[in-house]
Structure 1
């Protein structure tokens, strides 16, 4: 009996020393360093996603990140939704599974001094091509009755446009902070003429960040895909309840001053006027059309296909695409729907 007990004890010791099963790795891409894309990192840091190890890559190159996602090198990807029509046109293994947050005033068009909208015909305007800046510039020109083909487009990001604006080479430019303040301070008479906090702009729904996933990842590892999606909103919930700590964690992750993080996501756990507005899970599910009720900003329930279709029409108008696509092919709301059916809910308020 003694030998049996000793053997059993030895077996228990052996079992205790076996290595734990390795967590499944999920590769997560972030298109640019931007605090709104950091909620999955918060979820990982606070142990809100079990059984999975999230491996993050910050691309600083949205198109490079999209290529990696299409190739299956990453499984999930946070970026702006303006690329969805191109995903459909190119037939890549990619879908957008959720809208995460709209721009809430962070994106502007700056008009040069002594320039009226009618003066823009034949002049240079700048915006990064195939990006939300070009959409915002297009909306502004359209609102002012200036045909988009009547201006000379210059493909510049906000930081690259500062010098040409100050030298007078540009008549209008897409910008965000801190470049807006730099131009307005150095160029008396320059002014912001449209931004994404405009109710009519918010109502379009097109200036959003979204979460993309590789379709093979969803098909082959659906449980993991659902875990990632839930963790994104669990991370957001942690940020809502622990905003000061979470903002510092975002600052550490993206290597930003915490003050700059606060000027994007704010300090109230919901939004920042001049930054971004965070959709809670219920708001995003309503954008998908898998939960009853209306999203904010006058957007209709189930708006995602309409929003993507509108972006597609703008890309055609701006000469980046030639044909209208079936927007539903770039969207998969079934994961959000599964979370709703499971009883998952989240309504977050500013504090």
Structure 2
């Protein structure tokens, strides 16, 4: 074998080694998802469709919202998708966590079910159920307030939707927070039971508090802002892919979450935008308007730059419900500068249902 051939082989081997090293050198961004839920899966879409080519995404589904928040605060994960109702608590506890974007409001997923032969006026002193410190707790509180009943006038039972079915059917509960399939199970089994409010109600949508959001660890942002921007952009690139290839992406999400594909459609829809009875997906421009970094109004009567107001309203309700004692500085729980950087770079995304 000639020296020229050996040199060529050596150069080729070195080039291959450099390419391999380069591929292996991609930084990893650790992403948490609080529960198995289609609305949180768009970064998995971005990962599978190579929409963030400079980074590896390592996704973990916690099935434990508080455990995921603890992992984010400790820096074990960098990014976390969960409900926005936790923002006041992150501020109150002084953790290294901020909310960087609102992703989607509940659009009818969450309901309050009233037992047969019970009217709102009858609820004082009666048992009502909701999972403490989650969206259902807020929804029950707001609905009771709209009926002139303060939270201290009812007996609270800390139950999730599936846990409330038995007590509801046995007559032990007068009202319960529920979502599907438990709503249908109760309504079919109890003549006269009915849904009295849900999160697609305009008054509830306008509060902005029934929202999923994207959190990041502040040290991750400070130490690698480029990565933080890349993963934020990738989340909306994944959403754009879903809009343009909805059936394919719903199947991808179903396989990832181990859900029936039909059930995915009953949460995020099959039109690439929303499902009434599920959730409404903010495109990037709508989310940027919530942050106040792009002109124009978000949907549902929400105001431009209203995230801090939403956090303050949530804070007030956690105090009313006995989970917090102090009002916090809402802005400390929000960092819209990343969304602002993407807007400044020219990134835009606006779409309606297919």
TM-score, normalising length from structure 2? 0.97
Q: Matches of 2:45 and 2:5 in 1, distance apart?
A: 46
1:345 equivalenced with 2:344 (yes/no):
no
SS in 1 for 2:30: strand
Shift of 1:12: 1.6
SS in 2 for 1:295: coil
1:74 equivalenced with 2:77 (yes/no):
yes
Q: CA RMSD in A?
A: 0.9
1:17 equivalenced with 2:20 (yes/no):
no
SS in 2 for 1:20: helix
1:239 equivalenced with 2:238 (yes/no):
no
Please list every run of 5 or more consecutive structure 1 residues that lacks an aligned counterpart in the other structure. none
Q: Deviations over 1:118-172 (max 9, x none)?
A: 1110011000001000000001000000111000111100000000000000000
Q: Matches of 1:15 and 1:289 in 2, distance apart?
A: 50
Match of 1:57 in 2: 60
SS in 1 for 2:21: coil
Match of 1:318 in 2: 321
Shift of 1:258: 0.6
Q: Matches of 1:112 and 1:7 in 2, distance apart?
A: 83
The size of the alignment, in residue pairs, is: 349
Shift of 1:7: 6.1
1:129 equivalenced with 2:132 (yes/no):
yes
Matches within 5 A, 1:189-338: 189-338=192-341
Shift of 1:8: 4.3
Q: Matches of 1:301 and 1:99 in 2, distance apart?
A: 12
Residue of structure 1 aligned with 2:111, choices 104, 108, 113: 108
TM-score, normalising length from structure 1? 0.98
Match of 2:166 in 1: 163
Q: Deviations over 1:28-82 (max 9, x none)?
A: 0000000000000001101100111111110111000000000000000000000
SS in 1 for 2:14: helix
Which aligned segments of 4 or more residues in structure 1 are displaced greater than 3 angstroms?
A: 5-8
Q: Matches of 1:118 and 1:136 in 2, distance apart?
A: 17
